[in-house]
Amino acid sequence: MTFFAQQLLWGAMLPAVITFAVLVGSWRAWRREGVSTHWGTPLALALGYLFAHWRIVGLPISFPPVDSNEWPFVAAIVFAVWGVVEHFASRRTLLCEAGRVVLVVVISWLVLRPLMGNLWQGASATLWWLSLALGWWLWWSVQARLSASVPGLLLPLILSMVAGGGGLVLLWSGSSSLSQLSGAVAAVTGATVPLVLWRTMGCIGSGSVAFVAGVLGLLWVNAIAFVPVPVWRIAALATASLTPLFALLPGLKRNPAWLTVAVCAVTTAVILSVVMLPTYRAYVASAGAYGY
């Protein structure tokens, strides 16, 4: 088996199978109960992702982690637990927003501490930290609102596309590990799509979005701070994930659901292509300059 095939197996296929298997078991009860989402979904996503993280990066060798690539493993557990909390507290909007603020501020500070006082000096350190935390929180909050407004496969499909395309962007920007972890997020999120098709009015819910937006947002924060990936590339990825907003437009609401999904997916693909093409060209140019 080639190295690429091994990475695909351990970092995407098996994590997706793990998530799908756990979801099938939990969603059978979910279907009988007739509810639109299930509290176990963020836990299923976490199990698949944690397996991938273990195979790609390994387990954290200490606590707190000493490497920025180890933090997503610890954070994934936190986001999974918070996802369950947010599932049951989804109607308490203020509580959910406050919880997201605390999580992004505290976790981003823990992860970015090695840069403060070293690469980032004085007020610039605080500005970078709070700016990244604010952007992460705003994006997460929009995704949480979309989870309540856009049922069905659209949101998990788009998030999976963005995580997968973002993985290539991270790879060509110089981080193989973050690229593979982003691919793992894409795989486990994509595993929910066929199950949402099974129950067309179902949705992954704000609890599951809490896990996906939490882990993917942290990978993006790491990419900006430690690789570093230009901010505009991450902003473009975040923009590509917002196409489900089209589903709320009156014009598209009157059209068949498949047309809305197609419009959003194609738009997301176009935005991803716009950021991926120059990133790939820069990657090829830099590799050529070093004789690779």
Provide the number of structural domains found in the chain: 1
Q: Please report, as a single letter, which amino acid is at residue 44.
A: A
More confident residue, 181 or 87: 181
**pLDDT-based confidence at 225, cuts 50/70/90?**
very high
pLDDT computed for residue 292 by the predictor: 45
The Cα 237–Cα 235 span in angstroms is 5
* CB distance 283 to 172 below 8 Å: yes
The Cα 189–Cα 217 span in angstroms is 14
Region label for 58, one of left (φ > 0), alpha (ψ between -120 and 50) or beta (otherwise) = left
- Checking if the pLDDT of 266 tops 60, the result is yes
Query: Which of 19-28, 67-76, 87-96, 263-272 shows the lowest per-residue confidence on average (mean pLDDT)?
Result: 19-28
Cα dist. 131→41, 107, 127, 230 in Å? 30, 14, 6, 14
Over residues 66-92, the mean pLDDT reads 91
**pLDDT-based confidence at 29, cuts 50/70/90?**
low
* CB distance 252 to 263 below 8 Å: yes
- The pTM (predicted TM-score) of the whole model is 0.92
- Checking if the pLDDT of 200 tops 60, the result is no
Q: Cβ neighbours of residue 125 under 8 Å, at least 6 residues apart? A: 115, 116, 117
* CB distance 37 to 152 below 8 Å: no
The Cα 205–Cα 88 span in angstroms is 10
**pLDDT-based confidence at 28, cuts 50/70/90?**
low
Question: Which structural domain range is residue 193 located in?
Answer: 3-289
- Checking if the pLDDT of 253 tops 80, the result is no
* CB distance 223 to 231 below 8 Å: no
- Checking if the pLDDT of 162 tops 90, the result is yes
Q: Please report, as a single letter, which amino acid is at residue 271.
A: I
